[in-house]
Amino acid sequence: MTRSSKEIRSDIAWSSADRIVVRGRDLPTEVLGHMDLAAFSFLQLTGRLATAEQARVYNAVLITLVEHGLTPSALAARLTYAGAPEAMQAAVAAGLCGLGSVFVGTTEGAAKMLADELDGDDGTLDLERAAARIVAAHRERRELVPGLGHPFHKPIDPRTPRLFEIAAECGLRGRYVELMELVGREAERVMGRALPVNATGAIGALCGELGLPVKAVRGLGVMARAIGLVGHILEESEQPLAIELWRRADDEASAHLREQANA
């Protein structure tokens, strides 16, 4: 058996008996007490320091993704914790497994949709035509346009205007945001109903403005939602609801079987 000659390499961090260096910066002296978690995570993901404006937008994106109530991911985490309270990490992992094309993962879909048009753009791309092309392609494939509409935030998702306002204040309301808004307007025109840009669409656009790679975008949701899930698990430990939800679901789901047996 021959060994591969491929180099084993990582450029993220290294440590020795007396040093820990992350992305070229000494952790104790250059990071601890100097950078907050958002700024450090931006450095970890990109290898570069965020400007003050980028840091503000990035921080707003992460906070937006932390919490959204008793979502399926939060319920999965709570129910898992009810069965295995000794393993918080398992409950968090169970919740994170539910982040996909319907919940949170739509940020990645929106980011990719925009990047497919704007990556390499020199500022000459006709954004209105690009928006029409995007909507037409999704309609032809009979797919939902990612980042538009919301099941209960109507007529607008209140997070979106605030995210775009922060981006504007930081000079980061650029062509990704413009294209996302044009896609929303074109979809509304073609489909004849309100389809406002939701938070995932806004975040997908802002990730483009920040220069984040598309494959990192869902990771932001994983990072942020993990915080929210820890909060839900702590509440579950003090104010449990998972067992009650399980019992009610079991009773309601099998009620017709009991009625048939007693008929």
4 in any annotated domain: no
pLDDT of residue 153 exceeding 90, the answer is: no
What mean pLDDT is predicted for residues 112-123? 94
What mean pLDDT is predicted for residues 193-205? 94
Mark whether 110 and 205 lie in a shared domain. yes
Residue 200's pLDDT band, with cuts at 50, 70 and 90, is very high
257 in any annotated domain: no
Question: Please, are residues 214 and 116 in contact by the beta-carbon 8 Å criterion?
Answer: no
Q: Return the closest-CA partner of residue 102 out of 126, 140, 135, 72.
A: 72
Q: Which domain holds residue 168?
A: 106-215
pLDDT of residue 2 exceeding 90, the answer is: no
What is the model's pLDDT at position 98? Answer: 86
What mean pLDDT is predicted for residues 55-64? 97
What mean pLDDT is predicted for residues 119-145? 94
pLDDT of residue 41 exceeding 70, the answer is: yes
Model pTM score: 0.91
54 in any annotated domain: no
Alpha carbon 109 to chain centroid, angstroms: 10
Please count the CA atoms within 13 angstroms of the CA of 208 that sit on its side-chain side.
29
Percentage of the chain surpassing pLDDT 90? 83
What is the model's pLDDT at position 99? Answer: 85
Q: Return the closest-CA partner of residue 116 out of 92, 133, 128.
A: 133
What is the model's pLDDT at position 151? Answer: 66
Residue 1's pLDDT band, with cuts at 50, 70 and 90, is low
pLDDT of residue 101 exceeding 80, the answer is: no
Mark whether 110 and 209 lie in a shared domain. yes
Could you write out the DSSP letters of every residue in 20-84?
Answer: EEETTEEIIIIITTT--HHHHHHHHHHSSPPPHHHHHHHHHHHHHHH--SS-HHHHHHHHHHHH-
Total residues belonging to the chain: 263
Amino acid at 145: V
229 in any annotated domain: no
Domain count for the chain:
2
Mean pLDDT computed over every residue of the chain: 93
What mean pLDDT is predicted for residues 174-197? 95
60 in any annotated domain: no
d(CA 51, CA 57): 10
Longest dimension (CA), the chain: 76
Q: What is the pLDDT of residues 235-255, one digit of tens each?
A: 999 999 999 999 999 999 988
pLDDT of residue 105 exceeding 70, the answer is: no
94 in any annotated domain: no
Please count the CA atoms within 13 angstroms of the CA of 244 that sit on its side-chain side.
4
What is the model's pLDDT at position 152? Answer: 78
Q: Return the closest-CA partner of residue 153 out of 99, 195, 190.
A: 195
d(CA 71, CA 8): 41
209 in any annotated domain: yes
Could you write out the DSSP letters of every residue in 106-146?
Answer: HHHHHHHHHHHHHTT--S-S-HHHHHHHHHHHHHHTT-PPT
Q: What is the pLDDT of residues 60-94, one digit of tens each?
A: 999 999 998 999 999 999 999 999 999 999 999 99
* CATH number of the CATH domain containing 207: 1.10.230.10
18 in any annotated domain: yes
pLDDT of residue 102 exceeding 80, the answer is: no
d(CA 97, CA 84): 17
